[in-house]
Amino acid sequence: MSLIIRHVLGAFAIASASACLAGCATTQTSPTFDAAAVAPPPPADAVEQVGPVDAIAVQGGDFYAQMKDAGFNVPALKPGQVDAAFLRKSVAYSTKEAPGTIVVDPAKHYLYYVEAGGRATRYGIGVGREGFAWTGEATIRSKQEWPDWYPPKEMVERRPDLKHQLVELQSGLGMHGGPGNPLGARAMYLWQGDKDTLFRIHGTNEPWTIGKSQSSGCIRMINQDAMDLYQKAAVGTRVVVLPANVARR
């Protein structure tokens, strides 16, 4: 494919993503729409009633145990919150992509961090109800720990109950980063050259949405997984998002 055609398709894809999904909020650009950040409440069977902390069983073992980070508490993943098929796992993965590349497979609700020797770390993800409106290649332009969230005024008008959670921040009305923030513990911002794709890879405080299509475009991960990927993926990491109708593992 010629460079000119690739450029035109890339520009069209970004425009389509903006129109259809308007992406996730960011702390570095003007506030953008993030319906992904307010997902449906968990199903009744996804929230387990538990006793004292020392009696809580942890789904996925040490990977998903409770931890402290930057003064915040990252809760343990409770049994049954996420289908076991979407827990972090080292897998055989045949790909032409170089080690260090991130491959997102929205059709299967997986994200792969490619490693040497035909292996990858596979993470479960949540994606948009509509499927991805944007596919292609991008790079991680920046990363944020416990990012702030800026819902657009349209969302606040639709959800007046959000107002009491918002304060004036450096980029407008938003929510400070923390355990209650919809963007979770980490966020990685995807750009194509000097163009913001409006897609982000980020954590979530709604783990029951992992492995499902209940958000509106961003790539959401279990907080512990987002933290793990954040450590591995440097700024400049190449990200390949496969078409939503491509079925791969």
pLDDT of residue 43: 52
Cα–Cα dist 196/220, whole Å: 18
Predicted confidence band of residue 171 (pLDDT cuts 50, 70, 90):
confident
Asked if residue 126 has pLDDT above 90, the reply is yes
CB-CB contact of 18 with 24 (8 Å): no
* Closest C-alpha to 17, from 135, 137, 121, 125: 135
pLDDT of residue 24: 54
Cα→Cα distances 127→110, 153, 201, 209, Å: 10, 23, 10, 9
Whole-number percent of the chain with pLDDT over 70 = 72
pLDDT of residue 138: 97
Predicted confidence band of residue 131 (pLDDT cuts 50, 70, 90):
low
Sequence-distant (6+) residues with CB within 8 A of 6 are none
Among 41-45, 140-144, 156-160, 180-184, the least confident range: 41-45
At residue 107, what are phi and psi to the nearest 5 degrees?
A: -65, -35
pTM: 0.77
Among 63-77, 210-224, 226-240, the least confident range: 210-224
Cα–Cα dist 203/142, whole Å: 15
Predicted confidence band of residue 83 (pLDDT cuts 50, 70, 90):
very high
Predicted confidence band of residue 56 (pLDDT cuts 50, 70, 90):
low
Predicted confidence band of residue 19 (pLDDT cuts 50, 70, 90):
very low
Cα–Cα dist 200/137, whole Å: 13
Highest mean pLDDT among 39-53, 116-130, 218-232: 218-232
Strand 136-145 to strand 127-128: parallel, antiparallel, or no bridges (unpaired)? Answer: unpaired
Give me the mean pLDDT over the 116-142 stretch.
88
User: What's the chain's average pLDDT?
Assistant: 78
* Closest C-alpha to 26, from 154, 113, 140, 129: 140
Asked if residue 29 has pLDDT above 50, the reply is no
pLDDT of residue 129: 66
pLDDT of residue 74: 95
Highest mean pLDDT among 30-34, 47-51, 115-119, 125-129: 115-119
Give me the mean pLDDT over the 155-168 stretch.
80
Give me Rg for the CA atoms of the chain: 18
Cα–Cα dist 204/210, whole Å: 9
Helix then strand then coil, % of the chain, to nearest 5: 25, 30, 45
